[in-house]
Structure 1
């Protein structure tokens, strides 16, 4: 089968032929239809410091996908050939304390699809049936391909109640934009999104952000005054991983405010913990999705009319992967999707 492979240490990927993945008794074989390009894939493509530590070559990257089940292992009963599926990219041990308690997203032995094992940038991918989400209702293929990052957005956005609340989102990358759409759909009063990229801020406006703020030109405090907020934001969603973003968020929260942090910093940075203590703020780290409560919420949100199509700004054949990765790396648009049928 054809696959994009990180063949050796160094930048770039190679489109080449590799064997089809094996299928164990508890696994399913999936014919890949679409894949999304994630920030993790960009790290692997560039082979930066993180990738050098995290991956071993050769590797087929990719963990955002939708496909059709074409084969099942002997012990698989809940997934059938012909099902349209996406996949949970965190493969867990199933035996640790958290897994046994049903908190699989907290498994300390998690292995990442497309990072710790071959992934979905290929014509076929194999996954344990327990990691497969079957789409029981119609869904756009491009949207189904980005269920993994959509899940990050939903997990973060719904970590705290948002009905009637004023929400600040720092970072208008694709997940931040999706989070803005989710909290607006879920009943937030004011949704403010910050970034320094005007194209991305425009995407945030399209999905329902009441104020999309270029923080290279205006402050969050100025945005508060424009909206008439007297006490600060109730809920903060930190999506950028930037130290200045978290510091500004902390400074603009109401007393008792709650912050969910998905953005992953590249290095340690100082935080005003005196402000966090005296303002009685709650900080919660988010990584991935809750299996599978978040996935259920995603499907229900789409059934309820949530529209994610504006978030997808690039569509390419897998053969044009170099152009697709270039657009994704530019950091000015939304999600980029590869079509494995074209």
Structure 2
């Protein structure tokens, strides 16, 4: 089968032939229909310091996908050939304290699809049945392909109650955009999104942000004054991983404010801990999705009318992966989709 492979320990990716995956008694074989390009895939393609530490070549990359089940293992009962499915890309051990307690998203032995094992940028992918999410209600294929990052957005946005609250989102990348859509749909009073890309800030307005600020020209404090906020933001969603963004968020929170941080910094940085203490702020780290509570929330949000179409800005044949990756790496648009059906 054809697959997009990190074939060599150097920059680049290769579309090449690899053996079709085999499945065990508890596994599912899936024909891939669409995939989404993630920041992780960009790191692997660039072969940066993180990728060099995390990846063993050769490796089929990719973890955002939608497909159709073509075969199930002997012990799989609830999933059938023909089911349309997405996949939870964090494969957990099932034996540690958190897994046994039902907190699988906190497993210390998590293996990432397309990072620690062959992934979904291929004609077929195999997954344990426990990691397969069946779409029981019809979902647009492009949207179903990005359930993994959509889950990151939902997990972050719904970490704290936000009905009638004022929400600050730093970072208008694809997950920040989806978080803005979720926050507004879920009842936030004001949703403010910051970035330095005017193109992405235009997308933020399309998904429902009340105010989109280019922080290269306008401060968050200016945005507060424009909206008439006197005490600061109630909820902060940090999506950028940038030190300046986190510091500015902390400086503009109300006393007792709550921050969910998904953005992954490339290095350590200092923050104003005195402000965190004296303002009694809560800072919560977010990684991945809660299995599978977040997935239920995603499906229900879409059933209830949440529109993610504006977030998807690039669609490519998988054979045009070079152009697709260049689009994703430019940092000006939303999600980029690869079509594996042609």
Bin the TM-score by the shorter chain: over 0.9
Which residue does 2:176 correspond to in 1? 176
Q: Distance in 1 between matches of 2:5 and 2:246?
A: 36
Which residue does 2:78 correspond to in 1? 78
Other structure's SS at 1:3 match: strand
Which residue does 1:106 correspond to in 2? 106
Which residue does 1:238 correspond to in 2? 238
Which residue does 2:227 correspond to in 1? 227
Give the C-alpha shift of residue 22 in structure 1. 1.2
Q: Which structure 2 segments of 5+ residues have no match?
A: none
Other structure's SS at 2:221 match: helix
Which residue does 2:210 correspond to in 1? 210
1:237-279 deviation per Cα after TM superposition (whole angstroms, max 9, x unaligned): 0000000000000000000000000000000000100000000
Q: Distance in 2 between matches of 1:175 and 1:192?
A: 14
Give the C-alpha shift of residue 290 in structure 1. 0.1
Give the C-alpha shift of residue 304 in structure 1. 0.2
Q: Distance in 1 between matches of 2:218 and 2:36?
A: 33
Q: Distance in 1 between matches of 2:69 and 2:84?
A: 7
Q: Distance in 2 between matches of 1:112 and 1:25?
A: 21
Q: Distance in 2 between matches of 1:138 and 1:22?
A: 28
Which residue does 1:197 correspond to in 2? 197
Q: Distance in 2 between matches of 1:80 and 1:12?
A: 37
Give the C-alpha shift of residue 7 in structure 1. 0.5
Alignment of 1:31-70 (within 5 A): 31-70=31-70
RMSD between aligned alpha carbons? 0.3
Give the C-alpha shift of residue 78 in structure 1. 1.1
Q: Distance in 1 between matches of 2:334 and 2:18?
A: 30
Other structure's SS at 1:31 match: strand
Q: How many equivalent pairs are there? A: 342
TM-score between both structures, scaled by the size of structure 1: 1.00
Which residue does 2:129 correspond to in 1? 129
Please say if 1:301 is aligned against 2:288. Answer: no
Q: Which structure 1 segments of 5+ residues have no match?
A: none
TM-score between both structures, scaled by the size of structure 2: 1.00
Other structure's SS at 2:133 match: strand
Q: Distance in 2 between matches of 1:12 and 1:123?
A: 20
Which residue does 1:330 correspond to in 2? 330
Other structure's SS at 1:221 match: helix
Q: Distance in 1 between matches of 2:230 and 2:285?
A: 27
Which residue does 2:267 correspond to in 1? 267
